[in-house]
Amino acid sequence: MFVQIIQGPVSDRAAARATMDRWLRDLEPGAEGWLGGTYGFTDEGMLVAVVRFESPEAAQRNGARPEQQAWWREMERHFTGPITFHDCADTMLLLGGGSDHAGFVQIIQGRVRDRDRMHTLAEQSTELVSRHRPDVLGATIAIGDDGFFTETIAFTSEAAAREAERKEVPPEARQVIEEEMSLLDDVTYLDLHQPWFASHH
């Protein structure tokens, strides 16, 4: 799987969302190899799109379509500041990757120091999360060639996530989480309080 993360500040959320929805309606049917996406705005007005493709080639083919380029020129106008793109061929799904029924999404970003160790810890954490965090529906980890790390975590609801965070975690689970976080530099958290989702049917 290949993941592309696009993010940047927008002024008019409703207009940006309408252009995004138009992509799903008009361009998605011709986007061969597109698997789905997780979308939302932070409270500060940053639009975040975490888009999944079958392969880097599928993403490139989609980007090369004339109608995609025309749509992107329209989409670009909504942004009021720098737009960043992260292309990630190194991806992992935890608990199936998430759910289109999530009520809250948190995105953790940073720079990973040891990607092999991160893979090992992510595999260990899958079982711990399924046992101790019923509020977590799944997660996607995507790491770019430059080591830029994005984890997209889908929760049943924000209230459930906050409540679970306050509970005491067993030592083995805490150890894995702490080591995972210790592998990341320049960590930022982006909360999407009203996420929306799309997937290929």
Assign residue 45 the CATH number of its domain.
3.30.70.100
Query: Is 186 in contact with 128 (CB distance < 8 Å)?
Result: no
Residues 62 and 105 placed together within one structural domain of the fold: no
What's 79-135 look like in SS3? ECCCCEEEEECEEEEEHHHCCCCCCEEEEEEEEECCHHHHHHHHHHHHHHHHHHCCC
Give the pLDDT confidence of 3-39 residue by residue, as tens digits. 999 999 999 999 999 999 999 999 999 999 999 999 9
Number of domains in the chain: 2
- At 201 the pLDDT is 65
pLDDT band at 109 (very low <50, low <70, confident <90, very high): very high
Residue 60 lies in a domain: yes
For 125, other C-beta atoms within 10 Å of its C-beta total: 21
- At 200 the pLDDT is 82
Give the pLDDT confidence of 118-158 residue by residue, as tens digits. 999 999 998 888 898 999 999 999 999 999 999 999 999 99
Q: What is the pTM of this model?
A: 0.95
- At 172 the pLDDT is 87
Helix (H) or strand (E) holding 62: helix 56-64
- Token pair recorded at residue 66: 């004339």
- At 98 the pLDDT is 84
Give the domain extent around 120.
90-194
Select from 88, 123, 144 the last residue of a domain. Answer: 88
Residues 69 and 124 placed together within one structural domain of the fold: no
